[in-house]
Amino acid sequence: MPPAKPLNLMNPVVLAYVGDAVFELLVRQHLAARPNHKPDELHRGAVRFVSAKAQRALLEKLQPHLTEEEAEIVRRGRNAKSGAPPKGADIRDYRHATALECLFGWLYYAGKFDRMAELLRLTELGEPSAGADAAVHRKEDDR
């Protein structure tokens, strides 16, 4: 379902809210596509990518590859007033994680699924699984 507002008018925290789910789904699909599906290994693997600290590191890797428009979305997400970070999370890590999630929310709503896959290939996730690509493109088919 498309958002009620144009993307450039959406609150970055709302984009981050959706981006959090999109990014976690892509990470989970990547992990599920690998052999050995022990629940504790899946969980530990997911935490390696979805924690605030890990997301900040991923964003730092991606920043040189972002377009001006994407960099602006990241800046808006980083500067958004998203509340207090979770217990034990560094405020800078949390703001950068919000920025990454904002970017993925924006890419999702903009229908830039190929760009999401391209950015994921630039991270430690490596080549996204076919399942990840299929899930991302299912949204495109719904339009």
Q: Active-site residues: which are they?
A: 20
Q: Assess contact for 132 and 29: CB atoms under 8 A.
A: yes
- Which single residue is written with the structure tokens 């970070």? 85
Q: What is the DSSP letter of 84?
A: P
Instruction: Kindly give the residue spans of alpha helices, DSSP state H, lying in the chain.
Output: 12-32, 39-50, 52-62, 68-79, 91-110, 113-121, 130-141
